[in-house]
Structure 1
């Protein structure tokens, strides 16, 4: 099957195969996903599809098997969660965390990345320089500017009022 023939085959059959898998699966999104994945697999085997003489059946079978494989994976995952039990309840972020995240979003992307790598990932300046591809002095600059910007954004007016500022 040539590239052009495969493209024509795809155009003629994708809607029909998606409809068939939709009826089989009862989930349109899942049907679309597995049919597309089956066509992707068929693309690399298009010469074999031509020899078999039943390319539509091949795509439909592969799509079905993909769907079954996904079901099995989901079922095993659900069973594993059931065996483990429900995860412990964790509180949502408090007002302080929300304010911090909002302030971090206002930083330039490189400062935000550097601050995250330093404070959340506990990387050294040298490790950050290696990971980001910038010099250690640039990392230090990003840290200083990020801290300064955050200090300005996170000033609590209640503290300033109490100190008489």
Structure 2
């Protein structure tokens, strides 16, 4: 006989596993399962990581489940299916798009010359010309925005027009090319 005292089974209370223990024990296995589904290791790792992140934020409740790994596995599979569906939908959309690329003409030579001439001007002259002529702002508004007197803006516009005429080879009086 082993002993005189009676050996009665005592109620064994197990502490729930820690998140780190579950992660270390099951991350690789879940990744392999999802890799077999996706065929893409990175996608598998992403969904398993996402499932573990969601489990971590709810760990007090999930750790008391009979099988917390089953919850994580279900979430990972649901995420995988959702990604697969989104990818399928996106691919279907792309397949319905016209395959011929539309041709767009490049900028006209005059536009290229204008941009090049503007680039040669001092910043304040260029801003004044663009705001006044292309932005349709009156001189007073340009002056207010630039924080200068209206006379200064008028001088910038005059100097800018003169410099543009030289860069574009225009006769300053008629606008004709020389």
TM-score normalized with structure 2 length: 0.46
Of structures 1 and 2, the one with the larger relative CO (CA 8 A, separation 6+) is 1
- Structure number with bigger Rg: 2
- Which is richer in helix? 1
Question: Given the two structures, how large is their TM-score scaled by the length of structure 1?
Answer: 0.49
